Chains A and B, each alone.
Chain A
């Protein structure tokens, strides 16, 4: 050992509990010859308030350079004694804690063996603490603004929760309208509440409420780049032109009525809308948008149909351009949602009156393609409705999981269809059923449908006869199916997939954004300062969306507090640029993406803001270029040598 450094050792008796097994006098004798020439103080209960004052005075008097504390578990009182060192004017990281209560006194019957073990562990601690470096917590100012991606229920709830707390929020939505999927649904399971009635007040608050001053809503917008880290993100957003001046347009929709051009209505999954239109009645913001690929004038042809009728001059803005915004935010909440799996299996594809759950929701909606009437393509009402659940779920050839929402949706469809078409026969074809929750139990017990079990989705075939259409289950059972609804698996939305790649986040086995922890951190990600709300986390219902929107906002609020800097734990990994060989092994290993490549210096760099101090990179660096502060190679070797001496 090089020059010994004066070390003070505090030996706690824990009110006699430790000293019952460990003879502190004997330990002092055994350690007397240690090169650091330690000075000892036995304290009856070192964590006691008065005792800590006394210990601080002793440390001030002794002026040691290092301190070893032998007491209970560091998981209980390490922080207490770090503070003691600070109070005594000593760098708090110049301390090593020895757990002689839980891991010696309480587990060693023989006092002689316990005393010898305590001396051995203290010897190791004395060795280790000589190698400790002074560390200090770094403070970084953080921005308290938050960017929310996606304006479904989860994103809106997160935005409003933050805005109500006075936070500035940028809400980024790629659609021309807000509200996500359920604003397009007429009634919501499990209690058949009116979707727009539930969501319109939320959207109203967002657009016009007291908090709306704190919300910057960007519709028709997508995030194209994210840079920075927790507390200081820079987000680039591209906004497509709406070709409507939102400050002038009064939302009368006369333009849509007179527009001569039509495009497919992708929001309904069927039918057409005008080139200038809203996707469906009652959208918010109450503004149409123009589809540049359909509008004759934007294609360079002669047309002034809308211009001629628009009552507010300047509302239609054919010179509108794509805009780019740079958003500075401390945190990002992803609420980019999920969608139904888009493809249809061959047996159901290209047939009339085959709906997915989404297009059926639109068919049921008053502002949908048929004004809420349940009609087939030929304009007549179906005599039978077959709702195929688990259509591709629980199936190793498609998705292996249960989406968890379809049963409740399907029971709702059965209920609503029975109300709309007198005498309709409704069947639900299921592989398994799940109606979780107290209120969903009512749906289950008041179901209007005949439940038919089937084995595999691939066994189902559609057969047409003179008297109508049937679904045949392998084995011969047939189910009347004038109209078919397929409850396809819920998969990550395109927006969720984009967020995953933009932020290089971890994905779960189904392609959703992996949470920090499946149970205790389901609204956080491994990337600090990026939170999750709604079904980008996995299939969920509206209740989940609102709850997790609130939760994600809560995490952002508690992590980013105005006037409170981000305090960074100094026990992080540090790369020695003079040793780093540039192999990038560490970059791939870091579970928190805290290590990046410096292309100028050709070395790896650790962001102390993102590093959580696990030390995986330290152990993996082939050059030994990475030091784990607080757990350096030298410290661990010194400790090892101590326990083996």
Chain B
């Protein structure tokens, strides 16, 4: 089988093969200046954020190396999110662009490891986007729940 023929979408059966049962475990890496601030604002606005989501704060989304994402999957994460500043808004000028490039890479890489690429999500959340943070984290967790079923 060539790499091109590897499925990028998986059935519930295959995708949950390496996931241990129990509560959903979702990890979100957030940059300090935009997406973490957006998550804080979701809190100030009392918007719902899934309790299954565990946030790991880093100073910049550019800090996240792809092996860390893969390690999250290895250790049983149902889903992993990387949330960054919008393009042009990075506190460190372009760390979010590095994060974006790595996300592109991961999207292509994870299916090779038998991981449904839907289980990895890269997105932008600004310090003002409390509503977006709430919405996309809920969407993502709901999707992970449906993949698990």
A residues with a Cβ closer than 8 A to B are: 73-75, 99, 101-110, 113-114, 116-117, 120-121, 124, 526, 571, 589, 591-592, 612-616, 618-620, 628, 631, 633, 636-637, 639-641, 643-644
- Which A residues are in CB contact (< 8 Å) with B47? 107
Q: CA A639 – CA B29 in complex, angstroms?
A: 11
* B63 in contact (CB, < 8 A): yes
- Which B residues are in CB contact (< 8 Å) with A121? 54-55
Q: CA A643 – CA B49 in complex, angstroms?
A: 16
Contact digits for B91-128, partner A, Cβ 8 Å, 1 yes 0 no: 11111001000100000000000000000000000000
Q: Is the interface of B mostly helix, strand, loop or mixed?
A: mixed
Contact A618-B65, Cβ < 8 Å, known A107-B47, A644-B77: yes
Q: CA A71 – CA B102 in complex, angstroms?
A: 33
B residues with a Cβ closer than 8 A to A are: 23, 25, 27, 32, 36-37, 39-44, 46-49, 51, 54-60, 62-65, 68, 71-72, 75-77, 91-95, 98, 102, 134
Indicate the member of A104, A633, A636 with the most B CB atoms within 10 Å.
A636
Contact A639-B63, Cβ < 8 Å, known A101-B43, A103-B40, A644-B27: no
- Which B residues are in CB contact (< 8 Å) with A114? 51
- Which A residues are in CB contact (< 8 Å) with B32? 75
- Which A residues are in CB contact (< 8 Å) with B55? 99, 103, 121
Q: CA A63 – CA B33 in complex, angstroms?
A: 33
- Which A residues are in CB contact (< 8 Å) with B92? 591-592, 612, 614, 616
Q: Is the CB of A107 within 8 A of B43?
A: yes
Q: Is the CB of A628 within 8 A of B63?
A: yes
CB-nearest residue of chain A relative to B78? A644
Q: Is the CB of B95 within 8 A of A591?
A: yes
- Which A residues are in CB contact (< 8 Å) with B76? 644
Contact partner of A620 (CB less than 8 A), chosen from B25, B46, B65, B71, is B65
Q: Is the CB of A75 within 8 A of B36?
A: yes
Contact partner of B42 (CB less than 8 A), chosen from A107, A120, A614, is A107
Q: CA A639 – CA B36 in complex, angstroms?
A: 16
Q: Is the CB of B46 within 8 A of A631?
A: no
CB distance from B85 to the nearest CB of A (A): 11
Q: Is the interface of A mostly helix, strand, loop or mixed?
A: helix
Q: Is the CB of A618 within 8 A of B51?
A: no
CB distance from B140 to the nearest CB of A (A): 15
Q: Is the CB of B98 within 8 A of A616?
A: yes
CB distance from B126 to the nearest CB of A (A): 14
Q: CA A110 – CA B32 in complex, angstroms?
A: 27
- Which A residues are in CB contact (< 8 Å) with B49? 103, 107-108
- Which A residues are in CB contact (< 8 Å) with B93? 526, 591
Q: Is the CB of B40 within 8 A of A73?
A: yes
- Which B residues are in CB contact (< 8 Å) with A103? 39-40, 43, 49, 55
Q: Is the CB of B44 within 8 A of A102?
A: yes
Contact partner of A102 (CB less than 8 A), chosen from B23, B39, B63, B91, is B39
- Which A residues are in CB contact (< 8 Å) with B98? 589, 616, 619-620
Q: Is the CB of A106 within 8 A of B46?
A: yes
Indicate the member of A73, A101, A526, A641 with the most B CB atoms within 10 Å.
A73
CB distance from B92 to the nearest CB of A (A): 4
Q: CA A301 – CA B98 in complex, angstroms?
A: 64
Q: Is the CB of B63 within 8 A of A124?
A: no
- Which B residues are in CB contact (< 8 Å) with A614? 59-60, 62-63, 91-92, 95
Q: CA A73 – CA B33 in complex, angstroms?
A: 12
A sample of 14 more A-B contacts (CB under 8 A), given A73-B40, A643-B27, is: A73-B43, A74-B57, A75-B32, A99-B57, A106-B44, A106-B46, A110-B51, A615-B63, A616-B63, A619-B62, A620-B65, A637-B68, A643-B56, A644-B77
- Which B residues are in CB contact (< 8 Å) with A620? 65, 98
Q: CA A106 – CA B44 in complex, angstroms?
A: 7
Contact A616-B95, Cβ < 8 Å, known A107-B48, A120-B54: yes
